[in-house]
Structure 1
Amino acid sequence: MADLDFYSDRVQGPEPRDREELPENTRNGLVGAIVGWINLHWFAERFPEECPDGNNVCGTTVGNLLADIRALIPGIRLPLHGDHMSDIETFDLLEYAYQHISKPTRVKDHSYHKHWELRFDRKSALSEFRERVNLILARGRANYEMDTDGRIVRIGSAPVRRLVHDLRPATGDEDLDNLIRSARELYASKDPEQRQVALEKLWDGYERLKTLRDPTDKRRGTAASIEMIEPPELRKRVNEEMNALREIGNEFQIRHFEVGKPRYLTPPVTTSSPAWAIC
């Protein structure tokens, strides 16, 4: 299946992926696509209806498929329709579908029973399914996509996506690298609580970074790290940025949860703190 090329994207550029909740049309389109694949027997390999004159698959046992969906996605209502599904249920249904689909091909006409014997190609199904899902999400400006493992992940804003994509830690400190990798994975979660944990992991990594040059004294370790920066003209700027991060950590709930502090970040506070006021 070739990518659709829309005129609006060519002349105006793609729309920003800035919607945390699925638009109604997007949700209906995603669920409608799955219903269409059910009718086209993309789930027949996992839920087969067998031909009476042999062991060949000729269709889908839809009742078994729907019973399995309802068992694994509690609360989902039938018939499947986006109008009475939440975003979470829609995402669960997409991930369920990815795990169970195979593309059918007609290989033999059973004229007596008025059906076809089917064969299946799972690899092609996964590629086409993911491509279609991501196209619908992109056109709906949804801040989500399906990754190559069939998971729905939050992609974040374009600048953050680029930073996260390029975040390949190789600091030489295994614990620091693991914290950064964990933060990168958690940031992609569609659960805001998991994204909060990602921020906390990243902050833990930042605090550990300050001690790499001197494990016994965070301030000396920070100063030693700054002195390694080249060219020297950047050292003052990095020190100012680290002071600003310290202020953010003190003002917002990142790792500490004092009463009266907001949980989510607003634009960072500028500070004139001295170079050694990093903690």
Structure 2
Amino acid sequence: MSLYTERHGLRKPIARTSKISKEVYTLLLNICEKYYKNLTHIFKLQQHCSFVDQDYIEFNRSQFENRMAIKIPNIFKDEYGHIAAPQDNDDYDQYSLIDLIEYVAENIKDISEGWNNDRYKNYWYIHCLDTTNVFDDYRNEINEIFVESGVLFTLTTEKIIERIVENSPLSAEIEAETQQISEVGTRELMKDAIALYKTPNPAARQDSVEKIWDALERLKTYYTNMDKKTSATKVVEDMSNGQSDFITVFNAEFKALTDIGNNFRIRHHETNKIDITDNRHYDYFFNRCLSLIALAIQYLQ
């Protein structure tokens, strides 16, 4: 349900961002902590109730934090060495929190829990189940915080965090089409390029553009029974339906993208190449190249 100011247009639009603030960090960490007990199948603390002479298990927080110290060494910790939310002027690594969110998502399982006896309540038990229905609840809670805070990330059904790119031509349909490319090398390069493009860490932007430019160059040699020039000509003629005006347009676009790849620091890293210092320019280059490839692959034979 939307709130009053949302319903009546009295609220400023949420600022969209890729930065996880301390406040949002705290909310996301609280959700992770809420579901720690759903990792008990991995981190079991064996207990015994002498009063009723029965064994039971609890979530082993100490074992869990020792494991996270190895798997996610940069996760923020308090002065006692416990995983915690940053305070005041604390520095923190938001991508380590993303690691934690993904770790919980990957390993979360359903549990049954309760008092051993409703009357005497001798101990609280956790029974580990071999199902993962609880993942949907966890995912919904994580994504609700992302949406409400304007953070451009999402936890997918594949249990990974991806960034949300607004106004991008990349769609599920295009992704599906790229996986139908029969030439293995081009298909794998496109798969890698898209995965890097969707990665939250901005450091991956350069790698995503490099991969998609590699895919573009390989696309020119798609027809392996021809030399590169002849193959590239056939690709353009096919996607132009033989119409001379479109051949001119697509030849010009292939050349323009080739020149960008050669002149900017994309596929080559010599000192005379033009550096790309704004990640929004990486997104522009990626999407421009993607648009051409996405059209071309619809015509490949």
TM over 0.5: yes
Once the two structures are TM-superposed, the CA of residue 214 in structure 1 deviates from its matched residue by 7.2
Q: CA deviation at 1:216?
A: 5.7
Residues 98-146 of structure 1 deviation map (CA, whole Å, 9 limit, x = unaligned): 2443344335533545433333444122221122112212222223222
For the residue of structure 1 that corresponds to 2:171, the secondary structure is helix
Q: 1:172 aligns with which of 182, 186, 193?
A: 182
Q: Do structure 1's residue 234 and structure 2's residue 243 form an aligned pair?
A: no
- Tell me which of 8, 18, 21 is aligned to 2:19: 21
Shift of 1:9: 7.5
Is the contact made by 1:214 and 1:220 (CA closer than 8 Å) also made in structure 2? no
2:32 corresponds to which letter in structure 1? I
Whichever residue aligns with residue 19 of structure 1, its letter is T
In 1: Cα distance, 2:71 partner to 2:233 partner: 54
Aligned 8 A contact 2:74 2:93 in 1: no
**Could you say if the C-alpha distance between residues 214 and 259 of structure 1 is closer, same or farther in structure 2, counting changes exceeding 3 Å?**
same
Q: CA deviation at 1:93?
A: 1.6
* RMSD across aligned positions (CA): 3.2
Please give the secondary structure, in 2, of the residue aligned with 1:153.
strand
Query: Equivalents in 2 of 1:142, 1:162: separation in Å?
Result: 20
Q: Map of 1:125-274 to 2, 5 A cutoff?
A: 125-162=134-171, 165-213=175-223, 217-228=227-238, 229-230=240-241, 232=243, 233-264=245-276, 265=281
What amino acid maps onto 2:83 in structure 1?
A: L
TM-score of the pair, normalised by structure 1: 0.76
| Equivalent residue in structure 1 for 2:109, among 83, 88, 102 | 102
Query: What residue number does 1:80 align with?
Result: 83
- For structure 2, the residue ranges without an aligned partner over 5 or more in a row are 286-301
Change (3 A) 1:257 1:106: closer
Amino acid at match of 1:124: N
CA contact (8 A) 1:106 1:117 kept: yes
Residue 125 of structure 2, aligned match among 101, 114, 117: 117
Point out the more displaced range, 29-38 or 216-225. 216-225
Amino acid in the other structure paired with 1:247: D
Q: 1:169 to 1:99 in 2, by over 3 A?
A: closer
The answer as to whether partners of 1:214 and 1:221 remain within 8 angstroms in 2 is: yes
Shift of 1:29: 0.9
Give 1:44's aligned residue. 40
**2:115 touches 2:121 (CA, 8 Å); kept in 1?**
no
Q: How far off its partner does 1:196 sit?
A: 2.4
Aligned partners of 2:157 and 2:198: how far apart in 1?
Answer: 13
State the Cα distance separating 1:90 from its structure 2 match. 0.8
C-alpha change, 1:145 and 1:161, in structure 2 (3 Å) is: farther
Aligned length in residues? 259
Distance in 2 between the 1:225 and 1:215 partners? 13
CA contact (8 A) 1:35 1:80 kept: no
Q: Relative to 1, partners in 2 of residues 1:211 and 1:11: Cα closer, same or farther, differing over 3 Å?
A: farther
Secondary structure at the aligned position of 1:31 is classed as: helix
Aligned CA distance change for structure 1 residues 214 and 112 (closer, same or farther; 3 Å): closer
Q: TM-score, normalised by structure 2?
A: 0.71
Q: Unpaired segments of 5 or more residues in structure 1? A: 269-279
Whole-Å separation in 2 of the counterparts to 1:24 and 1:69: 20
Q: Which residue of 1 aligns with 2:30?
A: 32
Give 1:231 shift: 6.6
Equivalent residue of 1:245, what SS? helix
- From the superposition, tell whether residues 171 and 33 of structure 1 become closer, same or farther in structure 2 (CA, over 3 Å): closer
Shift of 1:262: 2.8
**Cα offset, 1:150, TM superposition:** 2.2
Per the TM alignment, residue 87 of structure 1 is displaced from its structure 2 partner at its CA by 0.4
Contact 1:155 1:161 in 2 (8 A): no
